[in-house]
Amino acid sequence: MRVLIATDAWHPQINGVVRTLTSLARAAKGLGVSIEFLTPEGFPTVPLPTYANLRLAIPNSSKIARRIETVNPDAIHIATEGPIGFAARAICRRRGRPFTTSYTTCFPEYIAARAPLPESLTYAVLRRFHAAATVTMVSTTSLMNQLRGRGFQNLSMWTRGVDADLFAPHRAIPLDLPRPIFLTTGRIAVEKNLEAFLSLDLPGSKVVIGEGPQEAELRQRFRDVTFLGLREGPELAGLMAAADGVVQLEALACGIPVAAFPVMGPRDVIGGSAVGVLDEDLRAACLGALTLSREACRKFALTRSWATSARQFIANVSRAALHQPQEIRAAAPIPASARG
């Protein structure tokens, strides 16, 4: 089975979508599924307003169509609601090709934090975008319930995985900082509400890994915080393993407990498991996380593999593949890993 994923987020960007798609392709290959990508490569780009480090492609419709024809996929998945995603969607609709989508970024909240646009308007645009899909994949039950409440349909789960070989306790890099070390990773932007963490009165040290449009401002305001910039691969894994409390599934694989607000995301990952503390009082959550078992965190993360995530994705795109013309379905039967 051959799947083409259209995405506006791609290398050299470093974010959750790019990491997810890269990990998915690697895991799917082991399940007999080939994934290729339709990305901004080869198209002119412009900087995203309020976020100059991110660039949006200006796609050429005919080139998009030729790329799809060249790959001749058995299934098409549209991962982002940007220019590439909209162009691929238009071509699929015009040619009667079924496709799947995924809802990964809370764009309405992201846009509302930067511009005077009501969330209801953005949700209406996204609802129309995803309504044409055979399946729209979401990563958590909370997000699924939220989208259903806003009129989204044909939703299905696609949970994320963790590379437990890369993110592991033995990779810890010694940090010459006062203990305990509380660490957060991700995009440094206003919608992430990093101020809630950085302003806490906590013992030890606070560490931030990542970059983003709010980085300079927060560095200036919180001079007692250690900002390490963008880190990747084994170095990122080592820094996370060296911490005492983090908000990440990768952190759990490193044996590090979670401290977070009881909101969508952390609540879905942690639930009632004793691998993190979710509390409206973030300081209490951070201090409570220090008492939890690191071994329990590691065991919890080992049940969240990328192979499991890939099987969910394959099952979802297979539903769209079954709607393809008969000659395409006969050429590439649904892999056994997606059945049942």
Average pLDDT over residues 53-74: 92
Type of residue at 128: R
Whether 287 has a pLDDT exceeding 60, the answer reads yes
SS3 assignment for 260-302 = ECCCCCHHHHHCCCCCEEECCCHHHHHHHHCCCCHHHHHHHHH
Q: Which of 282, 125, 124 is nearest to 199 (CA)?
A: 282
pLDDT at 336: 54
Average pLDDT over residues 65-90: 96
Whether 327 has a pLDDT exceeding 60, the answer reads no
Residue 281, both tokens: 């009082």
Whether 115 has a pLDDT exceeding 80, the answer reads no
Q: pLDDT grade, residue 217 (50/70/90)?
A: very high
User: Who's near 303: CB < 8 A, 6+ residues apart?
Assistant: none
CA distance linking residue 254 with residue 102, whole number of Å: 28
pTM of the model: 0.86
Whether 252 has a pLDDT exceeding 70, the answer reads yes
Q: pLDDT grade, residue 335 (50/70/90)?
A: low
Q: Which of 227, 187, 192 is nearest to 207 (CA)?
A: 227
pLDDT at 247: 55
Whether 156 has a pLDDT exceeding 60, the answer reads yes
